[in-house]
Amino acid sequence: MKVKLIMATFLMAVGVLIACGGTDSQQSSKMPPPASNESVAAPVETSDYVAPTSTLAVTAAGELEADELGNLSVSSLGDTLKYNSDVISLPKNTDINVIFKNESVGLEHNWVVVDASDKDAVLADAIAAGPDNEWIKPSDSRVLAYTKLVKPGETDSLTMTTPASGNLVVICTFPGHAAGGMVSEITLK
């Protein structure tokens, strides 16, 4: 099936090249054959490629959740100090792929998972760690999962295994951002 498709596309391309040559030999001589072959082959190859993306899944209560493949799409909300959901609902003891997009134009953000009881101490140590450490204390054992410090418009991803229990929160450790509202609660179900 795929071979037939490639052959059909190739024959069509040859037909076009012949047609060009017949009507205007000057124009066809300018056309480099290897380049035109590449441009024909590319769409056929990419048709089999499935981009590693995820669907934005939201529960009836407005909580974000992972899709059926275990992918969780999260982002910051414009140029506010907010994530795209205050509550994220995740299954216990499950591998989750988190894709975090910084949707802002001018702010740097990260997506850092800690137990709620460790939030203030992690944030205090983050300020001490400074920008050279992307606002996270190096090897901080209280940090359960984290992205890099993501620049505006960029994306980072991580894989985490959810625990069996715990009161987890997501915070942005850039100074002032969590205090300003960049906190999401994770409910385990």
d(CA 28, CA 9): 19
Q: Which is nearer to Cu ion, 64 or 100 (CB)?
A: 100
Q: How far is the CB of 149 from Cu ion (least distance, A)?
A: 9
Q: Which is nearer to Cu ion, 170 or 172 (CB)?
A: 172
* Residues lying near Cu ion in the complex (CB under 5 A): 109, 172, 174, 177, 182
Q: How far is the CB of 174 from Cu ion (least distance, A)?
A: 4
Q: How far is the CB of 180 from Cu ion (least distance, A)?
A: 8
Strands in 112-115's sheet, in edge-to-edge order, are 57-58, 64-65, 87-90, 183-188, 168-171, 112-115, 143-146
What's 83's DSSP letter?
B
Q: Which is nearer to Cu ion, 67 or 86 (CB)?
A: 86
Beta-bridge partners for 83: 76
Q: How far is the CB of 107 from Cu ion (least distance, A)?
A: 6
CB of 32 closer than 8 Å to CB of 40: no
Q: Which is nearer to Cu ion, 75 or 89 (CB)?
A: 75
